[in-house]
Amino acid sequence: MQLTGAQIVLECLKEQGVNTIFGYPGGTILNIYDELYKQSDNFLHILTSHEQGAAHAADGYARSTGKVGVCFATSGPGSTNLVTGIATAYMDSVPMVAITCNVTLPLLGKDSFQEVDIAGITMPITKHGYIVKDVKELADTIRKAFKIARSGRPGPVLVDITKDVTAKTCDFRPVVIADEEPAKTFKTDDINTAVKMIKASKRPYIYVGGGAVISGASEELKKFAELVQAPVCDTLMGKGAFDGTNKLYTGMIGMHGTKTSNFGVSECDLLITLGARFSDRVTGNAKTFASKAKILQIDIDAAEINKNIHVNYAIVGDLKKVLECINSKLDQMDHSQWLAKIDEYKEKYPLSYDTSKLTCPYIIEELDKLTKGDAIITTDVGQHQMWAAQYYKYREPRTFLTSGGLGTMGYGLGACIGAKVANPDKHVINIAGDGCFRMNMNELATASRYDLPVIEIVINNSVLGMVRQWQTLFYEQHYSQTVFHDKVDYCKVAEGLGCMAIRVTKKSEVVPALKKALKSDKPVLIDCIIEEDDKVFPMVPAGASISDAFDEKDLSSKSE
């Protein structure tokens, strides 16, 4: 059948099972939006307030479901506004297809109005990028884009289409997209070697990253940890892959990880690394990281093997499949003496905060109690992000959405909207600092436009909290451009954008505010006023060993 390029785009999206799109229209993409108008029964299009919000929403949709998120933007500034969202998805291995349109083919390369080489700009931050100049290549290109986005280590793909291609016609033949099983890249010898290393270990430790979430390996991971009888720590991206209430769980590892995890990994004799890439925020000083241990790494991306940390043995493959094979060859192990040592650390070094005043950890603990852990939490980046990772107990995968690799301030609200659209029956809550909230607070207008009952918790300390923490500890309290001397009233902003607003200034107001927000059928902002000098502990200084983690008590002891 003969279809226009615009029609082909939407037909290809239907082939891929896509029914939700986040975007913002403009001149070059008008043909697609006109066709979208005609097919409004087939698609839910969420008009965001800014293209960056569309990219983050597609990201949140993808992270919370495992499906490919889709966003649309026009040429020039429309497409460049997607860049931060695309880079965020790339760093955290999020499957996304960004579809942009460019000027017509005769105008390409002539500095035409709103022309930009978005495929070139995004080359380093996408798995692949296309520019489609022939309508006959359009369908196959979109199909390839989705396959690349979701296969292997997932990531974003950009498809840029010249406007004339969206208007031209060609013959279109629909295809049925079959689910693909991950290719087996490992051998029986790999499994046998891993099992041999595990059986020889006396002090094993399991370090879980985002790959465990992406591969859907939670059940296999639980079985593996219990068979090996090993303590489990995780990264920001790995949250929820292993139940945070399980007795084997020891908390996050790294710069703001628990002392138990950091000390335990520093003393283990085998570090079993599952779907993690040894980020600098995890390892600290790479030369001293897990220096007493052999390291076994399992990852789907061969490029991550020996990139940051030299490992003793690696298996390249889908983590779920690899763990299934390893579990089948393991008998129940006994590491009770090692676990007793870890339990001593847990008892000696629990997470703690000042309970005499209103703090972010208190708010998050109360939120965890009220939701019983059955919510999707998104965050922005900074102190509140670390507190959300430390004090909310993530019991299931895809319930903690945050910008880990890129550290994108302004990520959370867009991601929150995308996750809520994908999961209408779940509570979806964004935890943001006031500095981050300023970045993309216009997306509250998106939430109110579509009556999405998301909850935006603003941890308001009137400063850039994490930067100030570093300035306090390492820059002689030189608070250069980190204090907000202004008169912004976030409650009035929220109300002006069509949302309910609640201000919290003391502990007794927290639970009533959260209960009211959780019962609301409209978006709610809770403005929580905390002290400007609250700090995230434990902490590892940049470049130090993770065994050098310190907290407030350690600082007090040094100053005495």
83 belongs to a structural domain: yes
Share of the chain above pLDDT 70, in %: 99
pTM of the model: 0.97
In a shared domain, residues 390 and 510: yes
State yes or no: is 123 an active-site residue: no
pLDDT in tens, 234-282: 999 999 999 999 999 999 999 999 999 999 999 999 999 999 999 999 9
Which residue is catalytic, options 38, 113, 184, 357?
Answer: 113
505 belongs to a structural domain: yes
Residue 317 belongs to domain spanning: 188-348
Instruction: Give the mean model confidence (pLDDT) for residues 36-54.
Output: 97
pLDDT for 560 equals 57
Size of the chain in residues = 560
In a shared domain, residues 154 and 226: no
pLDDT for 178 equals 83
CA angle 506, 512, 513 (to 5 degrees): 75
In a shared domain, residues 114 and 31: yes
491 belongs to a structural domain: yes
In a shared domain, residues 7 and 131: yes
In a shared domain, residues 213 and 165: no
In a shared domain, residues 389 and 478: yes
Which residue is catalytic, options 16, 22, 35, 51?
Answer: 51
Which residue is catalytic, options 7, 72, 163, 456?
Answer: 163
Q: In the structure, what pLDDT confidence band is assigned to residue 542 with cuts at 50, 70 and 90?
A: confident
Which residue is catalytic, options 114, 144, 226, 550?
Answer: 114
Which residue is catalytic, options 91, 252, 466, 539?
Answer: 466
| Residue 86 near residue 96 (C-beta atoms within 8 A) | yes
Q: In the structure, what pLDDT confidence band is assigned to residue 179 with cuts at 50, 70 and 90?
A: confident
In a shared domain, residues 380 and 304: no
In a shared domain, residues 90 and 28: yes
Angle between helices 360-371 and 510-519 (to 10 degrees): 40
In a shared domain, residues 194 and 82: no
| Residue 41 near residue 48 (C-beta atoms within 8 A) | no
Average of per-residue pLDDT values in the chain: 97
In a shared domain, residues 23 and 141: yes
Tokens for 510, please give them.
């927290």
pLDDT for 3 equals 98
State yes or no: is 474 an active-site residue: no
- CATH number of the domain that residue 522 is part of: 3.40.50.970
Beta strands in 228-337 (DSSP E): 232-234, 249-252, 270-274, 294-299, 313-316
In a shared domain, residues 238 and 200: yes
* CA neighbours closer than 13 Å in the CB half-sphere of residue 399: 24
State yes or no: is 51 an active-site residue: yes
In a shared domain, residues 335 and 380: no
pLDDT in tens, 191-242: 999 999 999 999 999 999 999 999 999 999 999 999 999 999 999 999 999 9
560 belongs to a structural domain: no
pLDDT for 559 equals 62
pLDDT for 481 equals 96
Residue 445: is its pLDDT beyond 80?
Answer: yes
Helix ranges (DSSP H) in 25-137:
30-38, 51-65, 77-80, 83-91, 118-121
Number of domains making up the chain:
3
pLDDT in tens, 342-397: 999 999 999 999 999 999 999 999 999 999 999 999 999 999 999 999 999 999 99
552 belongs to a structural domain: no
Question: What residues contact residue 48 under an 8 Å CB cut-off, 6+ apart?
Answer: 22, 23, 24, 54, 57, 414, 417, 443, 446
pLDDT for 30 equals 98
180 belongs to a structural domain: no
